[in-house]
Each structure stands twice: as structure tokens, then as C-alpha cells.
């Protein structure tokens, strides 16, 4: 079985010019927030969907690597600004196939629960908790 590497999919996509060709004119940090991106994804634009396929596979492969490195038996929580916006794509199977595609570790990774944190402000809660501990001298 072929193993997914966190860096393999993006390099293959770049080699074919996929990102350049399919995202021409969307060169800002808020790609998923642009009107053009929403229209392309809403219309099921093939190039935009392929880019999301590649991104989900790369994201899954990297998350699987991190789960192995940390032996995250309790679970992996995908948080941040992007994951909630593409949650449907992350749940269609490509992410988990890449997450578990680690050769002899596939059965181990298949037992690790993976959850998407839908609150994109969750990092602020952690910072607030840490600030509270620091203020009370519990750091």
C-alpha cells in the first residue's frame, strides 16, 4: 500500500500548476472568504474541488504524522480558521484515508478519534485560561 506523506501531494499539485491555474487572481490569505471561491465551490467547480482534494489529503497526511509522533490515543482535534469552513470536505473520506495511510501503523491510526473543532475562536479561550492562571500565580 502506498503511504501518504505530508509533503507529497502539494508538490505533485504544484508540479502540474494546479494551484497557479485554478486559483489565478485569488492571491490573498482569505481564499475561502472570497466571493469567487464561494461561487466556484458552490458551483462544484472541478479545479477548485481538486485543489480541496489535494489540500484535504495533505492536511490528513500531516495530521496522521503528528498523531503518530504524539501517540494521540485520546484523539486529534483539528482546530483553527480553515477546518470549520471546509468541514464537509474534511469529512468526505480523503482526509481520513491520508490520515491512516501509514503502512504498518494504519490499524493504530484507525483507532484514533479525529474531531473538527467548529468554534474558530477556541484559541482565544486557551489564551484567556492561560492569562487567568498567570494572573493568579498558577503558571
Region of 103 please: left (phi>0), alpha (psi -120 to 50) or beta: left
| Residue range 28-68, pLDDT digits in tens | 445 455 565 565 556 667 777 888 889 999 999 999 999 99
| Residue range 8-38, pLDDT digits in tens | 555 544 544 544 444 444 444 454 555 655 6
Task: Identify which of 75, 86, 81 has the alpha carbon closest to the alpha carbon of residue 119.
Answer: 81
Domain ranges of the chain: 8-135
Instruction: Check residue 116 and give its pLDDT.
Output: 93
Is residue 123 scored above 70 in pLDDT?
A: yes
Is residue 129 scored above 80 in pLDDT?
A: yes
Question: Which CATH code, of 3.30.70.2080, 3.40.50.300, 3.40.367.20, 3.30.830.10, is assigned to 8-135?
Answer: 3.40.367.20
All cell numbers assigned to 86: 471546509
Helix (H) or strand (E) holding 107: helix 106-110
Q: State the Cα–Cα distance between residues 49 and 89, nearest whole angstrom.
A: 9
Is residue 120 scored above 80 in pLDDT?
A: no
Amino acid at each position: 500500500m502506498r503511504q501518504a506523506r505530508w509533503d507529497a501531494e502539494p508538490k505533485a499539485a504544484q508540479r502540474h500548476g494546479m494551484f497557479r491555474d485554478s486559483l489565478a487572481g485569488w492571491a490573498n490569505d482569505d481564499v475561502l472568504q472570497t466571493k469567487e471561491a464561494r461561487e466556484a465551490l458552490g458551483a462544484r467547480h472541478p479545479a477548485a474541488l481538486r485543489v480541496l482534494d489535494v489540500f484535504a489529503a495533505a492536511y490528513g497526511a500531516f495530521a496522521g504524522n503528528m498523531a503518530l509522533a504524539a501517540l494521540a490515543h485520546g484523539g486529534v482535534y483539528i482546530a483553527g480558521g480553515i477546518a470549520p469552513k471546509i468541514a464537509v470536505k474534511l469529512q468526505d473520506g480523503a482526509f481520513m484515508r491520508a490520515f491512516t495511510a501509514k503502512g504498518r501503523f494504519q490499524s493504530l491510526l484507525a483507532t484514533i478519534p479525529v474531531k473538527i473543532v467548529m468554534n474558530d475562536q477556541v484559541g482565544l479561550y486557551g489564551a484567556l485560561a492561560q492569562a487567568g492562571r498567570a494572573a493568579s500565580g498558577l503558571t
